[in-house]
Amino acid sequence: MITYPDQKYFYMACEKCFSGAGADYDYQYTCVACKAFTHAKPKEKMHLNILDGSGPLDVKVFGKHATELTQMSASRCMKLYNEGAPLLLDTINQSLSGKSFIMKIRKRERYMEDSMQYQYVVLNMLERKSLLLNPSPTCPWQMTPNLLKISTHHF
């Protein structure tokens, strides 16, 4: 479920490495992360609240997975935002209602404002019914210590 109605659903990023850019659309600059001389382009980003058997969790979703959920590109989201037009959150939430996904989520620890904060980022996701239609004998993801247990998340 989308719980932050005022989010932009995009951020400005380096077109090479997708690191956040403090630049306006199409502005040329040298990326701090990858050192490329590049343009700032919109990249998909959204905040969601997901629920599984252990409770709710706020996560960030980027790129193609955010596009799959909103059915809109970052460019389209940026255009709507700049025009002051609201995204149809009720329509998006309604389309997600009752769906189940299997997600690979990474937990990030960050110091912000003199305290440890945790961020959870969706690295990969599959709608559960697609797994039932196309079963795979092996899990496509490997577990590492900084990844959460793969579980089914409901909207």
Q: What is the pLDDT averaged over residues 125-139? A: 60
Question: Where exactly are the structural domains of the chain?
Answer: 10-154
Q: Is the pLDDT of residue 137 over 80?
A: no
**What percent of the residues of the chain are helix, what percent strand, and what percent coil, each to the nearest 5?**
20, 40, 40
DSSP string, 78-104: HHHHHHTPPP-HHHHHHHHTT-EEEEE
CATH of domain 10-154: 2.40.50.140
Q: Is the pLDDT of residue 22 over 50?
A: yes
| Start-to-end CA span in the chain (Å) | 5
